[in-house]
Amino acid sequence: NAGVMQNPRHLVRRRGQEARLRCSPMKGHSHVYWYRQLPEEGLKFMVYLQKENIIDESGMPKERFSAEFPKEGPSILRIQQVVRGDSAAYFCASSPQEGADETQYFGPGTRLLVL
């Protein structure tokens, strides 16, 4: 059973470009979470999605960031007009159901570097 997959693993962008990060949850998981990790900090929640629905985006910056989880295909985290402060590791996690009793399984992350 394949784990959570993310691609690309590393992404380099120049300021002003767009970054698209993809996450395929574990088989059978319909809940996806995105987190951002800055150097020497813990993970910060960004957004929680189910298929075709954004459930909670309270951790998403109000501008330039968006996320989707279409009926078919991976979840996408999109960052428009990237700035140097967007440089971080972005992790996706998935779980089979909602709830505190459901363990989240993490992907390998995408390390974004904005030049």
Q: Which residues in this chain contact other proteins in the complex, by CB under 8 A?
A: 4, 33, 40-45, 48, 56, 59, 91, 98-109
Residue pair 36/19 in contact by the 8 Å Cβ criterion = no
The smaller minimum CB distance to other proteins, of residues 48 and 65, is found at: 48
Give the nearer residue to other proteins in terms of CB position, either 18 or 98: 98
CB 80 to other proteins: min, Å? 24
52 CB-side CA count, 13 A: 2
φ/ψ of residue 86, rounded to 5: -80, -10
**Closer CB to other proteins, residue 18 or residue 102?**
102
